[in-house]
Amino acid sequence: MLELATLGSTFLAFALLHGAEPRRRPERFRGAAAPWRHVGRLVAGALVLFSIAVWAQVEGVAAAILVVSTMFSAAATLFVIAVPVVPRLIWGTASACAVSVPVLLLLGAGGG
């Protein structure tokens, strides 16, 4: 469960980074205030660090960094390729990750 939580958090982190740039947002959301850009970037950084911390409990720190960077790259590739084709599905998945990551963490907290 912890592994799925970190996968979801890296996907959500890239979605936040992608959404922080006004040019990449959907048309109706482009006029949002500038401070939210910085909040999105900070939360994305925190999610990546969180993923590394969770993986460091399972593996070593070096392996955790490699795993999370690979997951982040895969999530970024999927996101960039699929957003022009099915934007609602991808943004919906990112929204579902925001809800499912804490649930998965609670389910996997007792297990190894």
**In the structure, what pLDDT confidence band is assigned to residue 69 with cuts at 50, 70 and 90?**
very high
pTM of the model: 0.79
Provide the CA 16 distance to its chain's centre, in angstroms: 7
At residue 110, the pLDDT reads 54
> C-alpha distances in angstroms, 59 versus 21, 32, 39, 52, 107?
33, 40, 30, 10, 19
Neighbours of 104 (CB within 10 A): 20
Residue with tokens 């809800």: 99
Looking at the structure of the chain, the number of domains it has is 1
Residue 59 confidence class, pLDDT cut points 50, 70, 90:
confident
Q: Is the pLDDT of residue 103 over 60?
A: yes
Residue 31: the pLDDT is 64
Q: Letter for the amino acid at 108?
A: G
Q: What is the pLDDT of residue 29?
A: 62
> What percentage of the chain's residues is helix, strand, coil (to nearest 5)?
85, 0, 15
Taking alpha carbons only, the member of 9, 27, 17, 111 closest to residue 68 is 9
What is the residue range of 10's domain?
A: 2-108
